[in-house]
Amino acid sequence: MEKTLIVSKIKNGIVIDHIPAGKALKVLKVLGLRGPEGYRISLVMNVESKKLGRKDIVKIENKYLSRQELSLVALIAPSATINVIKDYEVVEKYKVTLPDMITGLIKCPNPTCISRKRNEPITSKFYVLKKEKIMLECYYCGTMISGEEIEKYITV
Amino acid sequence: MPFAFRDVISILDYSREDLELLFETTDKIRELLGKKSSLNYLNGKIAALLFLEPSTRTMYSFQTAVYRLGGKALVFTSEQATSLAKGENYADTIRMFDSYSDVIIVRSKYEGTARFVAEIAEKPVINGGDGRHEHPTQAMIDLYTIRYFFGRIDGLTIGILGDLKYARTIASLLYGLTLYNPRKVYLISPGVLRLREEVRRKILERNLPITEVSRLDEVIEELDVLYVTRIQKERYPDPIEYEKVKNLYKITPETLTKVKENFKILHPLPKIDEIDPRIDNTKYAGYFQQAKLGVPLRMALLLLVLGLWG
């Protein structure tokens, strides 16, 4: 399978590999990529993977990820790896990781958390308790979020 | 000086040694109060009491503590919070009181308020209760009361009964107990009011020996201390279910027929009908003493936080 390229190589940009099967569209969504931005994007879903059984892959031409964007990808796809491509060559390859604290990307699920109070100069903050099977804890109220439910609270 | 100019947001921000210092200071304050009803350590100091959610005991106990230390209190209650009603946010209110006072004590219905206030204020902030999250000074009083009655906390068997899910005093007390080595902690509640996951995780991580049970009569003979909180009817999705269980968690003289000689009941108060008033005058009732100890402990805490002791 690996020998046949479903999508052709890109000249410059990134390949987000090892996305859990079925999550590629969500990865694009949290990166704010909906089409009109003009990036050439190819997306492969449910291909065989030695590591994951099945996986998704996203290739984005002429785009590189900021620290915040990496955190967002890690929240959706903690197993993902990023390949940075320059002139058709992989110049850098790394696994996404979450920082120890996530600031501002997620809304606390607790409606009476101070971070949800309107009109206050406050930004949500979450401790990252577990980075693989993600578990987060609100810095302010202690509410925990894990796994699939995290996606519901991403605010970007 | 582990307390000096530090915020008191969660009891877990402090160590067992810190709490021991607080308790020894409280012992000394009680001794001094035995000789003189008012002390003047806080002369010229102002404490801001921002009670953005109604409170009687905690507010008056802090206010009394400030007065007995010779300080002044600026009391801002939810009823007086007129500018908040006009739409001013907490942050602006806090900035104002931060500039007026030496220490801020805050209570609010929003979980995490004290931590937020501490980010804004330069003066030390004491959490007077934030939603269902934490009530650290109550837990300090609870632990001090246990130490008062038994001379220790280690090795005791403690039952905690009632609304384990929403009562902030229980979360803070459990966190506080993780700093000690109780023999066993029984968590007694109906299934729907069991501990929240975040609290369970924190206490298990710290190896608190908890056992969850749904009936008090199964464990009461083993207990040294029973900490009671009220089970509120409105927490029950089904009123019929509530009617079925309510008597299982009510403490009557009959409940206490087989308890240990030195057994004590504690309660953060106010109590409504969860403890039969006939118990109030028995040797088992520790809750009035507990409430009384609240003032000297808060005096000790204020002195330590303001760096005015030792």
User: Is residue A2 over pLDDT 60?
Assistant: no
Tell me which chain A residue has its CA closest to the CA of residue B108: A114
Query: Contact at 8 Å (CB) between B284 and B264?
Result: yes
CB spacing of A121 vs B89 below 8 angstroms:
yes
Q: For residues A105 and A86, state if they share a domain.
A: no
Q: What is the pLDDT of residues B138-157, one digit of tens each?
A: 999 999 999 999 999 999 99
Among residues A49, A69, A95, the one where a domain terminates is: A95
The mean per-residue pLDDT over the stretch A26-54 comes to: 93
Q: For residues A33 and A84, state if they share a domain.
A: yes
Q: For residues A76 and A26, state if they share a domain.
A: yes
Chain A nearest-CA distance from B86, in A, is 12
Among residues A52, A72, A95, the one where a domain terminates is: A95
Q: How many domains does chain A have?
A: 2
A66: domain CATH number is 3.30.70.140
Residue B38 has a pLDDT of: 86
Tell me which chain A residue has its CA closest to the CA of residue B115: A140
Q: For residues A17 and A89, state if they share a domain.
A: yes
Residue A143 placed within a domain: yes
* Chain B neighbors of A126, CB-CB under 8 A: none
Chain B residues bordering chain A (beta-carbon distance below 8 Å): 87, 89-91, 108-113, 115-116, 130-131, 133-134, 197-199, 201
CB spacing of A115 vs B198 below 8 angstroms:
no
Residue A3 has a pLDDT of: 60
Among residues A77, A95, A113, the one where a domain terminates is: A95
The CATH architecture one would assign to domain B136-290 is 3-Layer(aba) Sandwich (3.40)
Q: What is the pLDDT of residues B171-180, one digit of tens each?
A: 999 999 999 9
Number of CB atoms found within 10 A of residue A18's CB: 18
Best mutation target among B84, B95, B110, B196 (most A Cβ atoms within 10 Å) is: B110
Examine domains B11-134+294-305 and B136-290 and report if their fold is the same: yes
The mean per-residue pLDDT over the stretch B121-145 comes to: 97
**Reported ipTM:** 0.92
Pairing of strands B225-228, B264-266: parallel
* Chain B neighbors of A120, CB-CB under 8 A: 89-91, 116
Q: For residues A87 and A141, state if they share a domain.
A: no
Residue A4 placed within a domain: no
Residue A8 placed within a domain: no
CB spacing of B111 vs A143 below 8 angstroms:
yes
Burial class (CB in 10 A: 0-12, 13-18, 19+), B113: buried
Partners of residue B285 on adjacent β-strands: B265
A115: domain CATH number is 2.30.30.20
Residue A88 placed within a domain: yes
Q: For residues A110 and A60, state if they share a domain.
A: no
Give, as one character, the DSSP assignment of residue A150: H
Best mutation target among B115, B125, B202 (most A Cβ atoms within 10 Å) is: B115
The structural domains of chain B, with segments of one domain joined by +, span 11-134+294-305, 136-290
Chain A residues bordering chain B (beta-carbon distance below 8 Å): 110, 112-115, 117, 119-122, 137-144
Residue B191 has a pLDDT of: 87
Report how far residue A57's alpha carbon sits from residue A45's, in angstroms, rounded to the nearest whole number: 6
CB spacing of A140 vs B112 below 8 angstroms:
yes
Report how far residue B210's alpha carbon sits from residue B212's, in angstroms, rounded to the nearest whole number: 7
* Chain B neighbors of A143, CB-CB under 8 A: 111, 198
Residue B236 has a pLDDT of: 73
What CATH number is given for B11-134+294-305 in this structure?
A: 3.40.50.1370
**Domain range enclosing A68:** 13-95
Report how far residue B134's alpha carbon sits from residue B148's, in angstroms, rounded to the nearest whole number: 23
Residue A74 placed within a domain: yes
HSE value, Cβ hemisphere, 13 Å, CA-based, for A150 = 27
